[in-house]
Chain A
Amino acid sequence: MFLLYIGLDGADLGAGIFALFSKDEEERGAIMASMAGFWDGNETWLVVAGGVLFGAFPLVYGSAFNYLMIPLAVALWAIISRAIAFEFHVHAIGSKRFWGWMFAGGSLVAPFGAGVALGAALQGFPMAHGMALESVPGAHASAFDAVPHFSGNALSFLSPFSLWTGVGAVVAASLAGGLYLCARFLPGDPIHQRAKAWTSGFSLVALAAIAVTLIWSYAIFPWAAAKWTGPDWWFWLAWLVIILGFAYKSMMAHAEQRDFTALLWGEGVVAQLWIALWATMYPYIVPETWTIQSAANPANSLAVFTLFMTGFVPVMILYNWYQIWVFRGRFTKKSVYGGH
């Protein structure tokens, strides 16, 4: 779920970051219009991901949201101001500039907050048994004390590493956005031209960011270091080579103006990295804090949930695809803006 969200929304968040550097409102409007019809579909994957997390891993949901409240709230408010800007930009007359900036700014802050949250989650967090809120008179020991709760304070999440992962997420989104815009606008259009240069630049920055993140993680996370240099080191190395191969394919396709292919390879890199991250963390879902086993919903609930899910996910993908299909096709700066 999160993967789908990152894959789909990363692109339109990145396009928003791109819009931050747009010279006029017309260009921002065109970029926004190019996403009309499915950006909301992308956003909803986030809500679905949240819902599924609550359903499948309520213990993580309850404790991690408490721990990550500041970065998640920042990301959330950014996403929402962006969503509102989407709705209002078309209607607005005098305040068009304001909504344009809300859209672009929100697109920048959202991946940053989400990246910080991810980095912070990798660090694990303090847990305690007993009542989460002390100081209630007449409180007594209860059955609920059996479940450990988050027990740190509001700023526990903050560290150089988590800030760095925030920056990393912005870089990744920027790259995805560039790839998306290239695929979305007609070659020769001013937006396409600028997006091309943007994408080439960010490809290199993104590669550097991946390298830094890997080295840093290796240095500070014993669980990651143990996996990567354990007996299966050749497997991880091979995986890394495959990821680099994907990135190379994407850059090549981009250079040859096969924009849609480039976008697909780019999404492939994101998917590979994401799966590699989960594989590194296994059996933990939050490193050193919750293992998948202990955090999962009790078995009988989970069975029902999975049953329900597996039936619906293909249907959802189907109508999402239909939606993207209906609104497919390339745009130019002028035409889109006049059309809506």
Chain B
Amino acid sequence: MLLENTMPVLLSRLDFAWITSMHILWTPMTIGMSWLLFALEMAWLKTGDERWYKLNRFFEKIFIINFGAGVATGVTMEMAFGILYGPFSQAVGPFFGNILGFETITAFMYEAGFIGLMVFGWGKVSKGMHAFATFNVGLSSTLSAMWILVANSWMQSPNGVVLKHGLFQVTNWWHAILNDNFVWGFPHMWVACLELALFVFAAVSSWFILKNRNADLFTKLLKPTLLALLIVTPIQIFIGDTLGRDVAMTQPTSLAAMEGHYHTYLPNGKVNTGWHLIAFPNAKNDGNSFAITIPHVLSLLETHTWNGKVTGMDSFPAKDRPDVWVPFYAFRAMVAIGFFLFFVALWGNWLRLRGQFNAQALRKHPWFLRSVVFSGFLPYLAIWCGWWTREIGRQPWVVYNLMRTYQGVSHMSVGQEIFWFTGYIVFELVVWSGAWYFFSRVIRKGADDIAPSESLFHHPDAGETDAGRAGGGFAKPTFAKPTMDKSR
């Protein structure tokens, strides 16, 4: 495996790892947040409570910046397939290309169509129409995640294709789309998006309560958010566990790397059931030079039996084994974060049960509020770790067991790759810092300057432009065919 990682291959991998890692900072938040914005909007329409409207408009600003950054990095990613992995794009095109094509048409385009209405449509379309647009943004971003996960899961468990004339040709679309890894991989990712957005809501709310600004408004938001998290966090742990067992079945090398599990059997011939808390894999990648091990836990986790057999790395030739360091530790970090977030949700709801849930009482628990603020960043880290586990665990294959990574890399010199890598780093950092600059600006500004919802229909500029004149809550024109009118 290490042999194949020549400089160009390694650089291509690092480059792509960088691009995906930067992209995945934005999209999960868009997906999760769009549903939460829809929930806020529905709460406003149902109860007429102006506070829900205010919260919606406040978080919408963050959403827009986030969406912009997501599109920018996403287009880059689309191109990076062709640039860095030309032969891969060609070989997997018949399936993978179609799926990405479907994604752009049925999800991305759909989303972009409604996001304009959602962002700029306040007061220009009716409230119902606006809520409908918000709903569609949520639905389409979820569809988008679904297609992307179809494509990526297929790389992990390539079902439903045959390799013919150097191309992967689809023999069964259902098997290819609903491949083994996708069935649990997609729910895992989607719930992660929801969990991320909920924690960002909670973290921003806690920050405001800590600073004693708009505290009552944000306490109102924190309540349902924490309640939702009490449901979402344990579900995510359950789905994660199921996905782990799925990986054990379909991608034994990846699971062995995640667990640092080198030997199927112990020297005495018994099944190796030990789970490593800490492990230092040796340089030859055929065993751990140091490990803290708890017997039986691995079997319990992966087979749910006391002595179940888990395939170790030694069942595979050395050239088919992935590196262990990253999957092993990234996986552990992800799981630890998952449990910590569950604990935070429990903590918050326990305070609530004890009647501590108003802004004043909450400020007497600053450590709780600080933990929630901190928890706003943890899901990002967990998503990163999960993605690294997934992608590095699959190595040295780009399509598991069928196409090796070096076979998919484009014809490029090392100098060229360094040029690209630097270019992408600079570019993505600009996007990242720009987005963070504006996030912090929006948050520092707070929710005070958000105009009441009636102003949507009676703002001072209404009437000054044709667009304004067309307002009044409906897209019904007050003039006939404006742009085609000769006299204008």
Q: Which residues of A contact B (CB under 8 A)?
A: 36-38, 40-41, 43-48, 50-52, 54-59, 61-66, 69, 72-73, 76-77, 79-80, 83-84, 86-88, 91, 131-133, 135-139, 142-147, 149-154, 183, 186-187, 257-261, 297-298, 300-301, 304-305, 308-309, 312-313, 316, 319-320, 323, 325-332, 334-336, 338-339
Confirm or deny: B464 has a beta carbon within 8 angstroms of a beta carbon on chain A.
yes
17 A–B pairs (Cβ distance < 8 Å), ordered by A: A37-B120, A43-B112, A50-B79, A55-B101, A58-B96, A61-B90, A65-B79, A88-B434, A131-B406, A137-B4, A138-B4, A149-B410, A301-B95, A313-B105, A319-B110, A329-B466, A335-B464
Give the Cβ gap from A140 to chain B, nearest Cβ, in Å: 10
A44 to B108, CA, bound (A): 8
**A to B contact number (C-beta, < 8 Å):** 308
Does A147 lie within 8 Å of B104, measured CB to CB? no
Does A54 lie within 8 Å of B100, measured CB to CB? yes
Confirm or deny: B109 has a beta carbon within 8 angstroms of a beta carbon on chain A.
yes
Does A312 lie within 8 Å of B89, measured CB to CB? no
Give the Cβ gap from B12 to chain A, nearest Cβ, in Å: 8
Which one of B164, B165, B173, B413 lies within 8 Å of A304 (CB-CB)? Answer: B173
Render B90-119 as a binary contact track against A, CB cut-off 8 A, 1 for contact: 111111111111111110111011111100
Does B165 lie within 8 Å of A146, measured CB to CB? yes
A65 to B420, CA, bound (A): 13
Which one of B65, B74, B91, B465 lies within 8 Å of A332 (CB-CB)? Answer: B465
Which of chain B's residues 316-348 have a Cβ closer than 8 Å to chain A? Answer: 319
Q: Could you tell me the dominant secondary structure of chain B's interface residues?
A: helix
A143 to B468, CA, bound (A): 61
Does A312 lie within 8 Å of B105, measured CB to CB? yes
Which one of B61, B83, B102, B468 lies within 8 Å of A73 (CB-CB)? Answer: B83
Known: A308-B105, A329-B470. Contact between A147 and B483, CB under 8 A? no
Q: Which residues of A contact B93 (CB under 8 A)?
A: 54-55, 57-59, 61-62, 297
Does B116 lie within 8 Å of A132, measured CB to CB? no
Q: Which residues of B contact A334 (CB under 8 A)?
A: 464
Which of chain B's residues 419-441 have a Cβ closer than 8 Å to chain A? Answer: 419-420, 423, 427, 431, 434, 438, 441
Does A84 lie within 8 Å of B87, measured CB to CB? no
Q: Which residues of B contact A (CB under 8 A)?
A: 3-4, 6, 8-9, 61, 64-65, 68-69, 71-72, 74-76, 78-79, 81-83, 85-106, 108-110, 112-117, 120-121, 124-125, 163-167, 169-170, 173, 319, 403, 406-413, 416, 419-420, 423, 427, 431, 434, 438, 441-442, 461, 464-470, 475, 482-484, 486, 488
A305 to B99, CA, bound (A): 9
Does A44 lie within 8 Å of B109, measured CB to CB? yes
Give 4 closest A-B pairs by Cβ, nearest first: A58-B93, A65-B82, A55-B101, A329-B466
Q: Which residues of A contact B408 (CB under 8 A)?
A: 144
A151 to B412, CA, bound (A): 9
